[in-house]
Amino acid sequence: MPDTIPPPARTETPEEICHLLNDKPSGVRTAVLELRVRNHPGTMSHVTGLFARRGFNLEAIVCVPVDDGATSCMLLLVSDESRLEQVERQLAKLYDVLTVRHRPELSREFFSRLSTMAV
């Protein structure tokens, strides 16, 4: 029996990535949260796990080290639901999370622009 070669994996173009980020049903509100966190292994897992356990989808994540690299700034794009306030309070209780704040001046378009610059 001859070996078959699978077709190459499909990769999205920057335009398709932007389309995916912007293709949300109308009326779905999102919020951007900024977290200042300790920069060490496991921090991202703790933060994303908290959202996952509560049924939230993190639509976009940006994480960059700041200052001397001991801390990082995380920007999270999430659905702005009534229960988000409770998740924020729970985030603030995590040892690795130093601050939590809303960034109303940032939107889904901010993440779309970043995705086209990164690709």
pLDDT digits (tens, 9 = 90+) for 104-114: 999 888 888 88
Q: Is the pTM for the entire model greater than 0.85?
A: no
What CATH homologous superfamily does 28-118 map to? ACT domain (3.30.70.260)
How far is Cα 4 from Cα 118, in angstroms, rounded to an integer? Answer: 34
Cβ-based burial of 61 (10 A; exposed 0-12, middle 13-18, buried ≥19): middle
- Among residues of the chain, what percentage have pLDDT more than 70? 76
Q: How confident is the model at residue 28 (pLDDT cuts 50, 70, 90)?
A: confident
Q: Would you state the pLDDT for residue 61?
A: 94
Q: How confident is the model at residue 51 (pLDDT cuts 50, 70, 90)?
A: very high
Q: How confident is the model at residue 42 (pLDDT cuts 50, 70, 90)?
A: very high
| Upper half-sphere CA count for residue 36 (Cβ side, 13 Å) | 8
Sheet strands side by side (includes 30-38): 58-66, 71-79, 30-38, 97-102
Q: Would you state the pLDDT for residue 41?
A: 94
Span 66-79, average pLDDT? 94
